[in-house]
Amino acid sequence: MASKRVVVLGWAESVHTRRWVRGMSSRGFHVRLISLGGERLDDVETIIYHRYGRLSYLRYCRRAVRDARTFRPDLIHVHYAAGFGLWGLAANFKPTLVSVWGTDVVDLPSNPVFRMVIRTLLKRASWITATSDYLRRVTVRLQPGATEKISVIPFGVSVPETPAPHPETKPVRICFLKAHRPVSGPDFLIKAMREVVRVMPKIQLSMAGDGEMTPKLRRMVQKYGLSENVRFIGRLDNNQISSFLQQHHFMVMPSRQESFGVAALEAAAYGRPTVASNVGGIPEVIRNGETGVLVPSENVGSLSKAIIKLAQDSDLRNRMGMAGYEFVKQNYPWEKSLDMMAALYERLIDENRENTTV
């Protein structure tokens, strides 16, 4: 039997899109990825349109619909309800699966135009997936009609056979692994480090990633006298994350908002607990006091105390790290996520074929 054909509308530059596309291709689906910006995938058929600015989605809408339909798909999968959602609406195809990612249903609906496009797409979608139960609830509030056609399929992570041992050398090393943007709260971490260093002068923080806040964060480090304690690593490729996490004792994720928290799962997969803000979907991936520590968002005092507590107690770090590893291994392995998405693809395609032959 010929492979079932799927068009994915999503960012080729996103590691999550690339993983989904390659994962579903490995499950036997013939996939065409249509993207705005990014680089072609060597192992998956990819169409890239050059990004010209904020109107690029509108500019390429007709072309995207044509390139999607000429592929003769059995399913169109829209990753991110805004932007690519416009192409999904214009395609007017059944079945269409929409995966919401976070800002598309949390932030962008505050704009009336985006809100109209996103709500209409969700209404017309054959099915919707969200990465967390929190995001599922947000989506249903935005479009109540989605209640009966939405399921949670998380971004799973690759889990090694055994958790990696913690570094034996001192000092304690902690890490930040998010974009340097206000939503990720890196400024609160730098402020907290000022308090942490007073108690643990040798502690080390590695700031991976970059973004519009990087210059400000560097100035804060200089202002607070933290140059000996804070290193800026820059953006990491996906294949560097494993080694980076294993070089540290635990991770800190002081987000102002977070739809899911896949970084915490990646840390747990290597036996590293996480200190994180108690917001959005984070409580679903971190069990407070068991696999990590949750603190109020934007609370520097609570954040610094949690960091100090974990940094001073190696037994607690090890217990939480092992519990996190077992939690991720049981609930969030990447293969399980692929199983769920593949089964959904099959069901939507088969149901559509049955309906069109009646």
Going by pLDDT thresholds of 50, 70 and 90, the confidence category of residue 17 is very high
Residue % of the chain over a pLDDT of 70: 99
Separation of alpha carbons 307 and 247, rounded Å: 17
pLDDT digits 0-9 by tens, 220-261 = 999 999 999 999 999 998 889 999 999 999 999 999 999 999
Tokens of 316: 């607690």
Q: Which residues pair with 177 in a beta bridge?
A: 208
Fold of 173-331: Rossmann fold (3.40.50)
Tokens of 66: 């044509």
pLDDT digits 0-9 by tens, 172-189 = 999 999 999 999 999 999
285 in Cβ contact with 265 (< 8 Å)? yes
Going by pLDDT thresholds of 50, 70 and 90, the confidence category of residue 3 is confident
- Residue 208: CB partners within 8 Å, gap ≥ 6? 175, 176, 177, 233, 234, 235, 236, 244
Separation of alpha carbons 77 and 35, rounded Å: 12
The residue among 316, 314, 336 whose CA lies nearest residue 324 is 316
* CATH 3.40.50.2000 for the 5-156+334-357 domain, yes or no: yes
As a whole number of Å, the CA-based R_g of the chain is 21
Backbone angles phi, psi at 54, to 5 degrees: -65, -20
Separation of alpha carbons 329 and 327, rounded Å: 6
Positive or negative: CA dihedral 13, 16, 17, 18: positive
Separation of alpha carbons 138 and 221, rounded Å: 36
- DSSP category for residue 300: H
pLDDT digits 0-9 by tens, 34-92 = 999 989 999 999 999 998 887 899 999 999 999 999 999 999 999 999 999 999 999 99
Q: Which amino acid is at 291?
A: T
Going by pLDDT thresholds of 50, 70 and 90, the confidence category of residue 358 is low
What is the overall mean pLDDT for the chain?
95
132 in Cβ contact with 284 (< 8 Å)? yes
Please report the pLDDT score of residue 333 as a whole number: 97
Domains 5-156+334-357 and 173-331 share a fold: yes
Q: Which amino acid is at 135?
A: L
- DSSP category for residue 92: T
As a dihedral over the C-alpha atoms of residue 340, residue 343, residue 345, residue 347, rounded to 10 degrees, the angle is -140
Separation of alpha carbons 335 and 130, rounded Å: 17
Is 357's pLDDT higher than 80?
Answer: no
Is 99's pLDDT higher than 70?
Answer: yes
Separation of alpha carbons 134 and 125, rounded Å: 20
The residue among 37, 77, 81 whose CA lies nearest residue 59 is 37
The domain spans of the chain are 5-156+334-357, 173-331
User: Whole-model pTM?
Assistant: 0.92
pLDDT digits 0-9 by tens, 100-137 = 999 999 998 899 989 999 999 999 999 999 999 999 99
Burial of residue 147 (number of CB atoms within 10 Å: 0-12, 13-18, 19+): exposed
More confident call, 172 vs 355 = 172
Separation of alpha carbons 277 and 300, rounded Å: 11
Please report the pLDDT score of residue 170 as a whole number: 85
- The SS3 call for residue 77 is strand
The residue among 99, 80, 295 whose CA lies nearest residue 185 is 295
CA distances from 24 to 8, 27, 265 (A): 10, 5, 21
Q: Which residues pair with 234 in a beta bridge?
A: 208, 209
pLDDT digits 0-9 by tens, 250-288 = 999 999 999 999 999 999 999 999 999 999 999 999 999
The residue among 284, 266, 264, 263 whose CA lies nearest residue 274 is 264
